[in-house]
Amino acid sequence: MFKIALRNIFRNKRRSILTGLSIAVAVMIAIYMWSLVEGIMDNLFDNTIRMTSGHVRVLNTNYVKREKMLPLEANIQDYKPVEKIAAANPDVTLAAGRIKFGVLLDYKGNNKPVFGTGIIPGLEGKISRLDQKIVSGRMIEPGKEEINIGANLANDLGLKVGDTLTVVTQTAYGSLGAMNLKIVGVFSFGVVSIDKTTFFMPLSKAQQLLDLEDAVTEIFVFVKDMDKAPKVAQEIQNNLNQIYPDQYVTRTWRDVGFYWAYMRLAKGTYAVIYFLVLFLASFTILNTMYMAVLERTKEIGMMKALGLKDGQVMGVILLEATLVGGIASFIGAIWGSGVAYYLTVVGIDFTATFETMGNFNFPISSIYRAIFSWGIIFFGFCMGILFSIMAAIPPSLRASKMEPTEALREI
């Protein structure tokens, strides 16, 4: 049967190609668009996780309620033991204390709100990857009065590597803290909201500036499997409650605002759209194949005359559809993954557009990149074949029901 199907396909190449073309296009579209959308969303989450939420965060119970104010007094005192407890969890890959604080920089007579993060430079490679984002100068070193500021911020303030920035802010206990910080490096994450409003300084110096001896405002926790984050968060909180009852809570990356929901909604919407596109393509196949079946009455008559039963005839047609669909999907998949790959490497550059926009708060990279995922490619491929087969059912049924005499009469 397989051989018959194969021969049928190659006998009328033009027909086969036309049948498969629409599936190839549909699969290509589905794959490349999906890769792009997925890439953009991944980027959004990645940035949020690396800069704001970690996979899990340990926070003072009072901090959570007023988090928008970045209340320094609601901190994690004597944080090292707390950090250890979090790190002890078997699914945790990293637990690092951090200080997040807000500063009003005096800029052109107005107050410019900026966010500072006190970090342990050595660990940043696994967290924000600041070390890879330095565009001029170098990353800060622990224990020094140094600072890394975003490229856009440096631009806005008219500062560069070597200049000094005086940071004045309110400490955890209402005093005025101030420090002269030398700009040793400028970074660019390619994300406008980060490059415009944030800076990094060594944790120990942040503690000194803000009167937070041995304290941090949050502990970033990274886990092996981010979908397990809620479970890990609960475990850590339970462990903490045993020693520090009700003092600390944990939050996962999914708790950050409404991004999670919004992204899932967008993904769902696009999934529906892909299916609609594939549906149209499969309708095309159905139409084409039906037409083809009608034209192949003699062929089918021949097959039946040779002794093929109705079911087998149907099987042959379906097999043809599978093969054609398979090849078409394969081509479409290659094509789509090619486009996706290009978008992964080069991406779509919106830097110019984003920079002119004023208040851009979405942590999305200015260059839209797709992700290259075998999973997506395989799924697109399978969908193509599936839809091809489904589309072939009506025509194959029609073919199987043809009378041999009817067919032979056509001659």
Partner 1 sequence: MLLKLAFRNIFRHFTRTFLTFLAIAIGLMFLILMDSMLTGIDQESFDRIINYETGHIKIFDRGYREDEENLPLDKAIDNPAPIVAQVGKASEVAGITGRINFRIMLSDGVDQYPAVGIAVDPKDDESVFRLKQAVDKGEFLNEGEEAMLIGEGLAEDFAVDVGDYMTVLTRTKYDTYQALDLRIKGILRTEDPKIDWAAIVIPLDLGKESLDMGKGVTEIDIKLKDPARIEQFREMLAKEIPAMEIATWKDLAADVLAIAQAKRGGTSVLLFSVFIIALIGISNTILLAAFERTREIGMMAAMGMRRGQIVRLFVLEGAMIGVFGSITGCLLGFLLNIPLVTYGINWGAMMRDIGDVGYRITGASRGVWNIDMFVIAFIAGIVISALTSIYPARVASKMEPTEALRKY
Partner 2 sequence: MTNNKLQITNNTKITIFKFKYLIFGIVWSLVLGSWNFASAITGNEIINKVDANMTYGTGRFETTMVINVRDQVRTKKMVSWAEGRNKSFAEFTYPARDKGVKYLKIDDNMWMYLPSVDKIIKIAGHMLRQSMMGSDFSYEDALESNKLREKYSIKLIGEETASITEKVEGEEKKVLYPCYVLDLTAKVKDVTYWRRKIWVHKGTFVPVKEELFAKSGKKLKVMTLSRIQKYGKRYYPLYMTMENLLRKDSLTEMFVDKAQFDVRLPAGIFTQRNLRK
Q: What CA–CA distance (Å, rounded) separates 326 from 188?
A: 44
Q: Is 393 in the site for partner 1 (CB under 8 A)?
A: no
Q: Is 176 in the site for partner 1 (CB under 8 A)?
A: no
Q: Which of 13, 246, 361, 374 binds partner 1 (CB under 8 A)?
A: 361
The CB-of-145 to partner 2 minimum distance in angstroms stands at 10
Length of the chain, please? Answer: 411
Q: How many residues bind partner 1 (CB under 8 A)?
A: 55
Q: What CA–CA distance (Å, rounded) separates 148 from 284?
A: 57
Residue 109 vs 358, nearer CB to partner 2: 109
What are the backbone dihedrals phi and psi of residue 194, each rounded to the nearest 5 degrees, phi first? -80, -45
Q: Is 307 in the site for partner 1 (CB under 8 A)?
A: no
Output the DSSP codes for 232-251. Answer: HHHHHHHHHHHHSTTTEEEE
Q: Which does 101 bind (CB under 5 to 8 A by kind): partner 2, partner 1, none?
A: none
Phi-psi region of 246 (alpha: psi -120 to 50; beta: other; left: phi over 0): left
Q: Is 73 in the site for partner 2 (CB under 8 A)?
A: yes
Output the DSSP codes for 43-107. Answer: HHHHHHIIIII-SEEEEEHHHHHTGGG--TTS-BSSHHHHHHHHHHSTTEEEEEEEEEEEEEEEE
Q: What CA–CA distance (Å, rounded) separates 71 from 53?
A: 17
SS3 122: helix
Q: Is 68 in the site for partner 1 (CB under 8 A)?
A: yes
Q: Which of 174, 245, 246, 359 binds partner 1 (CB under 8 A)?
A: 359
Q: Which does 354 bind (CB under 5 to 8 A by kind): partner 2, partner 1, none?
A: partner 1
DSSP at 222: E
Tokens 């994300």 belong to which residue? Answer: 191
Q: What CA–CA distance (Å, rounded) separates 230 from 206?
A: 30
- Per-residue HEC secondary structure of 154-206 comes to HHHHCCCCCCEEEEEEECCCCCEEEEEEEEEEEECCCEHHHHHHEEEEEHHHH
Residue 57 vs 205, nearer CB to partner 2: 205
Binding to partner 1 (CB under 8 A): which residues in 236-265? 254, 257-258, 260-262, 264-265
Q: Which of 162, 174, 245, 307 binds partner 2 (CB under 8 A)?
A: 174
Binding to partner 1 (CB under 8 A): which residues in 92-121? 110
The CB-of-75 to partner 1 minimum distance in angstroms stands at 17
- Asked if 121 and 202 touch (Cβ cutoff 8 Å), the reply is yes
Q: Is 221 in the site for partner 1 (CB under 8 A)?
A: no
Helix axes 297-305, 310-345, angle to 10 degrees: 130
Give me the 343-362 binding string for partner 2, x by CB under 8 A, dash otherwise: --------------------
The CB-of-3 to partner 1 minimum distance in angstroms stands at 22
Q: Which of 68, 90, 158, 176 binds partner 2 (CB under 8 A)?
A: 176
- Which residues fall within 8 angstroms of residue 242, CB to CB, at 6 or more apart? none
Q: Which does 272 bind (CB under 5 to 8 A by kind): partner 2, partner 1, none?
A: partner 1
Q: Which of 179, 367, 382, 408 binds partner 2 (CB under 8 A)?
A: 179
Span interacting with partner 2, options 162-170, 276-284, 285-293, 402-410, rule CB under 8 A:
162-170
The CB-of-99 to partner 2 minimum distance in angstroms stands at 17
Q: Is 247 in the site for partner 2 (CB under 8 A)?
A: no
Q: Is 171 in the site for partner 2 (CB under 8 A)?
A: yes
Q: Is 348 in the site for partner 1 (CB under 8 A)?
A: yes
- Which residues fall within 8 angstroms of residue 393, CB to CB, at 6 or more apart? 318
Residue 239 in tokens? 């462990």
For 345, other C-beta atoms within 10 Å of its C-beta total 10
Residue 24 vs 165, nearer CB to partner 2: 165
Q: What does the binding site for partner 1 look like in residue numbers (CB under 8 A)?
A: 14-15, 18-19, 21-22, 25-26, 29, 33, 36-37, 66, 68-69, 110, 254, 257-258, 260-262, 264-265, 268-269, 272-273, 276-277, 280-281, 283-284, 287-288, 290-292, 294-295, 298, 348, 350, 353-354, 357-362, 364, 368, 411
Q: What does the binding site for partner 2 look like in residue numbers (CB under 8 A)?
A: 73, 106, 109-111, 166, 168, 170-171, 173-180, 211
